């Protein structure tokens, strides 16, 4: 073909057009990629600047939860943007609407819903690699190195400088103060004899402290982002529930060596964060509440591997079919899982004193569900307005029946429920939403804080036999007053002034007069050895 032919010119023109279109497309694509990359970078920068200090490096969780799509499955994107703008009730999550533009909030939402490039792993080998055995407990004296009533000791967790105080519950004098891991959360758990106490930090560290010898004896990082831990009644096992990875880890308590790691997924394989784990003493089992699937698990630990414990379950296994078939039931399996299907998610829950019924509620529901753990089914619905904080609920006897009372983290009320018929018998109006509630079987009073809002400095004292508030105190004006714990005999009450420059205030539990003020650094929970190891009705378990 001649270069001068009109066909040749047309061909060149067409080729040039095609090439320039391709070049344009390429340029457009790379501009788009650049923009995406830039957006990603700026979202990452935004994350590092505003979120990382609480939600951890690489979104792995720290004070706040891990932020990956897998951990946000119950939160729609528009709701997530609302949480960033307005903050989240009952958590430390602040509102960012005055700090961040709508555009930046959208970028952050996209960022946290972007899957991680490499899925964060925390395998058994990773866990084992963190194990630290500071001391062999068998080479330390099995007698206390101080003089005190060992059942009337308190551990006070001080959040401001990540420490804890061991307090004498008779003299109210500190015995020692020691460093803890960063950001402990939830109640520490005691061994049945009270010699050891186990702590869980939000970033997964489990520490074992020898109270008699005042030493941390062992530590292990059981998860990346942990909820809480529970210790079996025989003291042999601890269970840890995690948000990240989605699993539970069972440890033997002498050295904190892991025995079993179980991925928390439902029958269809959908994985879930763990809401919380509990010990159920009369059942000699652990209870595991799952957050993203509608299941609760029961895991027996007594004589783990033995047949007796599981005898009563044969019926369940037969009835369940599938993986629950009796022939699939390995009698020698250690820590088998008994699944209980629920009608709703469980974010917060409470057990009756016999551990037959679990009272659970999802954060979005107006109702609580009562689930009979033996029958494996819901037996009642409780109408509960606002957002009851069931985990802080307590029980007592009122006019010949057993009642359950729960503070409410959204409304100023305490809901009192008759545990025979699960009817609400009274809503006690308070001066704002509360977080923690406590009493003692020997005390006529129940104490509830007003944790949120302008009245956070106040604490109400409710007479248990009239269900009336008889006194409201504000012991440190302007500072949050929250979380009480009683002494072993119920004669004194310890209340936290939840501030960096805070205190634990001791009250006479009958006259309600202040006895003593001990300076402490943001004391959060305090835990009496007797009340905790005896599952005293007025305290959380």
Assess contact for 407 and 436: CB atoms under 8 A. yes
Q: What is the DSSP letter of 445?
A: E
Q: Which helix (H) or strand (E) holds 252?
A: strand 247-252
> Least separation, in Å, of the C-beta of 188 and ligand DHE?
8
Assess contact for 368 and 390: CB atoms under 8 A. yes
Residue 376 gets the label, from left (phi > 0), alpha (psi -120 to 50) or beta, of left
- Give the Cα separation of 279 and 190 in Å (integer): 12
Among candidate residues 142, 222, 152, 230, the one with its CA nearest the CA of residue 190? 230
Q: What is the DSSP letter of 311?
A: H
> Least separation, in Å, of the C-beta of 437 and ligand DHE?
9
> Least separation, in Å, of the C-beta of 326 and ligand DHE?
34
Task: Pick the closer one to ligand DHE by CB: 187 or 258.
Answer: 187
> Least separation, in Å, of the C-beta of 33 and ligand DHE?
37
- Give the Cα separation of 308 and 302 in Å (integer): 9
> Least separation, in Å, of the C-beta of 36 and ligand DHE?
32
Task: Pick the closer one to ligand DHE by CB: 285 or 540.
Answer: 540
> Least separation, in Å, of the C-beta of 539 and ligand DHE?
7
- Give the Cα separation of 408 and 244 in Å (integer): 28
Q: Give burial (CB, 10 Å; 0-12/13-18/19+) of 294.
A: middle
Which residues face 280 on adjacent strands? 285
Task: Pick the closer one to ligand DHE by CB: 300 or 391.
Answer: 391
Task: Pick the closer one to ligand DHE by CB: 107 or 522.
Answer: 522
Assess contact for 199 and 251: CB atoms under 8 A. no
> Least separation, in Å, of the C-beta of 471 and ligand DHE?
22
For 183-198, the three-class secondary structure string (H helix, E strand, C coil) is: CECCCCEECCCCCEEE
> Least separation, in Å, of the C-beta of 447 and ligand DHE?
12
Task: Pick the closer one to ligand DHE by CB: 92 or 138.
Answer: 92
Residues that bind ligand DHE (CB under 6 A): 90-92, 159, 185-187, 227-228, 276, 391, 435, 483, 524-525, 540
Burial annotation 453-473 (CB, 10 A radius, 16+ → b, else e): eebbbbbbbbebeebebeeeb
Task: Pick the closer one to ligand DHE by CB: 122 or 435.
Answer: 435
Task: Pick the closer one to ligand DHE by CB: 43 or 289.
Answer: 289
- Give the Cα separation of 304 and 57 in Å (integer): 38
> Least separation, in Å, of the C-beta of 534 and ligand DHE?
15
Task: Pick the closer one to ligand DHE by CB: 186 or 300.
Answer: 186
Task: Pick the closer one to ligand DHE by CB: 104 or 163.
Answer: 163
> Least separation, in Å, of the C-beta of 279 and ligand DHE?
9
Which residues face 360 on adjacent strands? 349, 369
Strand order through the sheet with 285-290: 274-280, 285-290, 295-300, 338-341
> Least separation, in Å, of the C-beta of 227 and ligand DHE?
6
Strand order through the sheet with 377-383: 348-351, 357-361, 367-372, 377-383
Give the pair of three-digit tokens for residue 401. 């029946």
Among candidate residues 497, 504, 430, the one with its CA nearest the CA of residue 462? 430
Instruction: Transcribe 415-458 into DSSP letters.
Output: EEEETTT--EEEEEE-SS----EE--TT-SEEEEE--SSTTTT-
> Least separation, in Å, of the C-beta of 255 and ligand DHE?
22
Task: Pick the closer one to ligand DHE by CB: 460 or 483.
Answer: 483
> Least separation, in Å, of the C-beta of 64 and ligand DHE?
7
Task: Pick the closer one to ligand DHE by CB: 276 or 450.
Answer: 276
Among candidate residues 387, 299, 291, the one with its CA nearest the CA of residue 344? 291
- Give the Cα separation of 103 and 101 in Å (integer): 5
Distance from the Cα of residue 5 to its chain's centroid: 81
Among candidate residues 219, 251, 252, the one with its CA nearest the CA of residue 131? 219
Task: Pick the closer one to ligand DHE by CB: 212 or 349.
Answer: 349
Task: Pick the closer one to ligand DHE by CB: 297 or 310.
Answer: 297
Cβ-Cβ contacts under 8 Å for 21 (sequence gap 6 or more): none
Give the pair of three-digit tokens for residue 414. 């305490």
């Amino acid at each position: 073909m001649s270069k001068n032919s009109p066909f040749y010119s047309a061909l060149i023109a067409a080729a040039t057009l095609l090439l320039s279109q391709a070049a344009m497309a390429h340029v457009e694509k790379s501009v788009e990629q650049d923009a995406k990359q830039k957006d990603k970078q700026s979202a990452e920068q935004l994350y590092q600047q505003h979120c990382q200090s609480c939600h951890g490096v690489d979104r792995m969780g720290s004070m706040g939860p891990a932020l990956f799509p897998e951990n946000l499955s119950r939160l729609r994107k528009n709701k997530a943007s609302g949480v960033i703008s307005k903050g989240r009730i009952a958590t430390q999550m602040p509102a960012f609407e005055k700090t961040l533009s709508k555009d930046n909030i959208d970028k952050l939402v996209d960022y946290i819903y972007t899957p991680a490039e490499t899925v964060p792993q925390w395998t058994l080998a990773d866990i084992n690699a963190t194990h630290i055995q500071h001391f062999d407990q068998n080479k330390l004296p099995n007698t206390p190195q101080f003089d005190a009533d060992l059942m009337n000791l308190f551990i006070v967790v001080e959040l401001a400088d990540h420490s804890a105080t061991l307090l004498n519950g008779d003299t109210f004098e500190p015995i020692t103060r020691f460093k803890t891991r960063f950001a402990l959360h939830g109640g520490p758990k005691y061994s049945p004899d009270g010699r050891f106490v186990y702590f869980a930090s939000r970033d997964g560290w489990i520490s074992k402290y020898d109270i008699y010898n005042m030493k941390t004896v062992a530590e292990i990082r059981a998860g990346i982002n942990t909820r809480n831990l529970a210790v079996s009644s025989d003291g042999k096992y601890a269970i840890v529930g995690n948000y990240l990875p989605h699993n539970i880890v069972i440890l033997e308590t002498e050295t904190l060596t892991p025995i079993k790691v179980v991925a928390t997924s439902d029958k269809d394989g959908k994985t879930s964060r763990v809401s919380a784990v509990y010990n159920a003493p009369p059942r000699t089992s652990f209870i595991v509440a799952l957050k993203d699937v509608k299941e609760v698990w029961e895991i027996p630990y007594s004589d783990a591997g033995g047949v007796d414990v599981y005898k009563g379950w044969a019926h369940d296994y037969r009835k369940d079919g599938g993986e629950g078939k009796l022939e699939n039931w390995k009698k020698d399996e250690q820590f088998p899982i008994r699944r209980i299907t629920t009608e709703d998610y469980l974010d917060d829950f409470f057990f009756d004193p016999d551990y037959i019924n679990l009272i659970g509620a999802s954060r979005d529901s107006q109702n609580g569900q009562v689930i009979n753990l033996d029958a494996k089914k819901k037996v009642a619905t409780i109408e509960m307005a606002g957002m009851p904080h069931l985990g802080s609920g307590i029980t007592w006897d009122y006019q010949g029946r057993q009642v359950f009372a729960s503070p409410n983290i959204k409304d100023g009320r305490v809901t009192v429920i008759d545990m025979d018929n699960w009817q609400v018998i009274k809503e006690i109006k308070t001066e704002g939403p509360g977080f923690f509630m406590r009493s003692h079987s020997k005390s006529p009073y129940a104490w509830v804080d007003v944790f949120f809002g302008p009245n956070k400095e106040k604490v109400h004292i409710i007479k248990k036999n009239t269900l009336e508030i008889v006194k409201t105190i504000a012991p440190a004006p302007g500072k949050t007053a929250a979380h009480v714990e009683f002494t072993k005999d119920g004669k004194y009450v310890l209340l936290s002034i939840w501030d960096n420059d805070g205190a634990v205030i001791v009250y006479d539990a009958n006259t309600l007069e202040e006895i003593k003020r001990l300076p402490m650094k943001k004391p959060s929970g305090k835990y009496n050895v007797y009340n905790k190891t005896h599952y005293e009705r007025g305290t959380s378990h």
